[in-house]
Structure 1
């Protein structure tokens, strides 16, 4: 951009209106609003996952004579249950007796 173009720039601009406070606030609100595409999926706890897997295993065992489930299917689900049980075990934190009394005093 040459110096002449720079000096003539304001003359060429046709829209020099100042934004009102309300327009500025609306513009910022539009920028801050997150794009929510659907409902947020709730976080499932280890306990809930274990309960669901136990229910699936019970279902498979009850329906095994009517439906064709291989032992591989059941073993896979039981392996998954063990993985979640291990995760549940490691997520627990042992509390010391001192911390118990300091919290409840």
Structure 2
């Protein structure tokens, strides 16, 4: 079954039916533009961002391929430093009195 509506007011020709089936096999969707607008970017916590950047930097450092430029590694380390700062600043400090009140 097709996921989109087919107008039933007119009969489809054999060529139109073949085109619809081929379009579906290729993974096409007539409503691609509408679906792209509805997609929301999921929120990522600072902790997950720091963890992901650490993993990627480790992966990057292990590569011998010339496509991995050392200047790019510096950029990723810069963003790791920024994310760590944000993570540190987001932590809430409480007094010792607050600990005993809990």
What band does the TM-score fall into relative to the shorter chain?
A: 0.5 to 0.7
Q: How big is the alpha-carbon RMSD for the aligned residues of Structure 1 and Structure 2?
A: 1.6
Alpha-carbon distance, 1:66 to partner: 2.7
TM-score, L = length of structure 1: 0.55
* TM-score (normalizing by structure 2): 0.57
Map of 2:51 onto structure 1: 51
> What runs of 5+ residues in structure 2 fail to find an aligned partner?
1-36
Find the structure with the greater CA-based Rg: 1
Aligned length in residues? 66
1:38 aligned residue: 38
CA distance in 2, matches of 1:49, 1:69: 21
Query: What displacement does 1:39 show?
Result: 4.9
Shift of 1:99: 1.0
Between the aligned partners of 2:43 and 2:79, the Cα distance in structure 1 is 18
> Residues 55-77 of structure 1: CA distance to partner in whole angstroms, max 9, x if unpaired?
111111122x1342221100000
Structure with the higher fraction of residues in helix conformation: 1
